[in-house]
Protein backbone atom coordinates (compact mmCIF):
# COMPACT_ATOMS: atom_id res chain seq x y z
CA UNK A 1 0.00 0.00 0.00
CA UNK A 2 1.39 3.39 -0.99
CA UNK A 3 1.26 6.08 1.65
CA UNK A 4 0.23 9.69 1.45
CA UNK A 5 2.85 12.40 1.75
CA UNK A 6 1.83 15.89 2.79
CA UNK A 7 3.83 19.09 2.83
CA UNK A 8 2.43 22.02 4.76
CA UNK A 9 3.85 25.53 5.00
CA UNK A 10 2.64 28.54 6.90
CA UNK A 11 3.68 32.15 7.26
CA UNK A 12 2.41 34.84 9.62
CA UNK A 13 3.06 38.55 9.36
CA UNK A 14 2.01 40.47 12.47
CA UNK A 15 2.42 44.23 12.51
CA UNK A 16 1.35 44.39 16.15
CA UNK A 17 2.10 47.64 17.95
CA UNK A 18 0.97 49.33 21.12
CA UNK A 19 -0.54 52.82 21.27
CA UNK A 20 2.95 54.08 22.13
CA UNK A 21 4.24 52.77 18.78
CA UNK A 22 6.35 50.07 20.46
CA UNK A 23 6.10 46.49 19.20
CA UNK A 24 3.72 44.27 21.13
CA UNK A 25 5.66 42.07 23.58
CA UNK A 26 6.14 38.38 22.71
CA UNK A 27 4.76 38.84 19.16
CA UNK A 28 7.30 38.30 16.37
CA UNK A 29 6.79 40.31 13.20
CA UNK A 30 7.41 37.20 11.07
CA UNK A 31 6.83 33.51 11.84
CA UNK A 32 6.92 30.47 9.57
CA UNK A 33 6.34 26.74 9.82
CA UNK A 34 7.11 23.80 7.53
CA UNK A 35 5.92 20.23 7.96
CA UNK A 36 6.56 17.10 5.96
CA UNK A 37 4.53 14.03 6.91
CA UNK A 38 4.33 10.53 5.48
CA UNK A 39 1.38 8.29 6.29
CA UNK A 40 1.47 4.60 5.49
CA UNK A 41 -1.07 2.19 6.83
CA UNK A 42 -1.79 3.22 10.42
CA UNK A 43 1.59 4.92 10.92
CA UNK A 44 2.51 8.56 10.39
CA UNK A 45 6.06 9.97 10.45
CA UNK A 46 6.77 13.66 10.31
CA UNK A 47 9.31 16.42 10.54
CA UNK A 48 8.40 20.01 11.26
CA UNK A 49 10.35 23.23 11.64
CA UNK A 50 9.35 26.50 13.29
CA UNK A 51 10.96 29.90 12.86
CA UNK A 52 10.17 33.28 14.38
CA UNK A 53 11.86 36.62 13.91
CA UNK A 54 13.20 38.78 16.70
CA UNK A 55 10.63 39.98 19.23
CA UNK A 56 10.59 41.89 22.49
CA UNK A 57 9.87 40.67 26.00
CA UNK A 58 8.61 43.99 27.34
CA UNK A 59 6.23 46.78 26.34
CA UNK A 60 9.04 49.36 26.10
CA UNK A 61 11.05 47.20 23.67
CA UNK A 62 14.14 47.31 25.89
CA UNK A 63 14.62 43.54 26.13
CA UNK A 64 14.89 41.89 22.70
CA UNK A 65 14.60 38.14 22.18
CA UNK A 66 16.63 36.60 19.35
CA UNK A 67 15.00 35.00 16.36
CA UNK A 68 14.53 31.27 16.81
CA UNK A 69 14.49 28.14 14.68
CA UNK A 70 13.59 24.69 16.00
CA UNK A 71 12.87 21.32 14.40
CA UNK A 72 10.64 18.55 15.74
CA UNK A 73 10.35 14.88 14.77
CA UNK A 74 7.24 12.82 15.43
CA UNK A 75 5.59 9.47 14.77
CA UNK A 76 2.17 8.07 15.57
CA UNK A 77 0.64 4.65 15.17
CA UNK A 78 -2.96 3.55 15.33
CA UNK A 79 -3.15 0.64 17.82
CA UNK A 80 -6.93 0.20 18.15
CA UNK A 81 -10.18 1.81 17.08
CA UNK A 82 -9.88 5.53 17.94
CA UNK A 83 -6.61 4.93 19.85
CA UNK A 84 -3.17 6.13 18.77
CA UNK A 85 0.32 6.02 20.31
CA UNK A 86 2.51 9.08 19.72
CA UNK A 87 6.30 9.54 20.05
CA UNK A 88 7.97 12.90 19.47
CA UNK A 89 11.28 14.67 19.90
CA UNK A 90 10.88 18.43 20.18
CA UNK A 91 13.74 20.84 19.46
CA UNK A 92 15.62 17.97 17.85
CA UNK A 93 18.89 19.90 17.40
CA UNK A 94 18.71 21.49 20.86
CA UNK A 95 18.45 25.04 19.47
CA UNK A 96 18.81 28.00 21.79
CA UNK A 97 15.36 29.60 22.02
CA UNK A 98 15.00 32.64 24.24
CA UNK A 99 11.70 32.74 26.14
CA UNK A 100 12.14 35.89 28.22
CA UNK A 101 14.66 38.61 28.93
CA UNK A 102 13.31 40.76 31.74
CA UNK A 103 16.13 41.32 32.58
CA UNK A 104 17.81 37.89 32.68
CA UNK A 105 17.65 35.67 29.58
CA UNK A 106 15.51 32.60 30.21
CA UNK A 107 15.70 29.80 27.65
CA UNK A 108 12.75 27.81 26.37
CA UNK A 109 12.61 24.03 26.53
CA UNK A 110 15.75 22.27 25.26
CA UNK A 111 15.53 18.98 23.36
CA UNK A 112 12.76 16.89 24.86
CA UNK A 113 11.14 13.54 24.10
CA UNK A 114 7.54 12.68 24.81
CA UNK A 115 5.36 9.62 24.48
CA UNK A 116 1.60 9.65 24.71
CA UNK A 117 -1.69 8.14 23.70
CA UNK A 118 -4.57 9.86 21.97
CA UNK A 119 -8.14 8.64 22.15
CA UNK A 120 -10.55 10.25 19.70
CA UNK A 121 -14.25 10.41 20.49
CA UNK A 122 -16.28 9.97 17.34
CA UNK A 123 -20.03 10.27 17.06
In this predicted structure, the answer to whether residue 123 has a pLDDT above a threshold of 80 is no
pTM: 0.84
For residues 111 and 30, give the distance between their C-alpha atoms in angstroms, rounded to a whole number: 23
Q: Is 34 left (phi over 0), alpha (psi -120 to 50) or beta?
A: beta
Dist CA 34 CA 109 (whole Å): 20
pLDDT digits (tens, 9 = 90+) for 36-70: 999 998 899 999 999 999 999 999 999 999 999 99
User: pLDDT category, 110, cuts 50, 70, 90?
Assistant: very high
> pLDDT > 70: what percent of the chain?
98
Q: 72: left (phi > 0), else alpha (psi -120 to 50), else beta? A: beta
pLDDT at 1 over 50: no
Amino acid sequence: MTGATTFTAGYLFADATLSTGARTPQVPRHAATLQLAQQKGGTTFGLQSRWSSRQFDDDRNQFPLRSAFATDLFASRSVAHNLEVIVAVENLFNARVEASATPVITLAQPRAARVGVRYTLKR
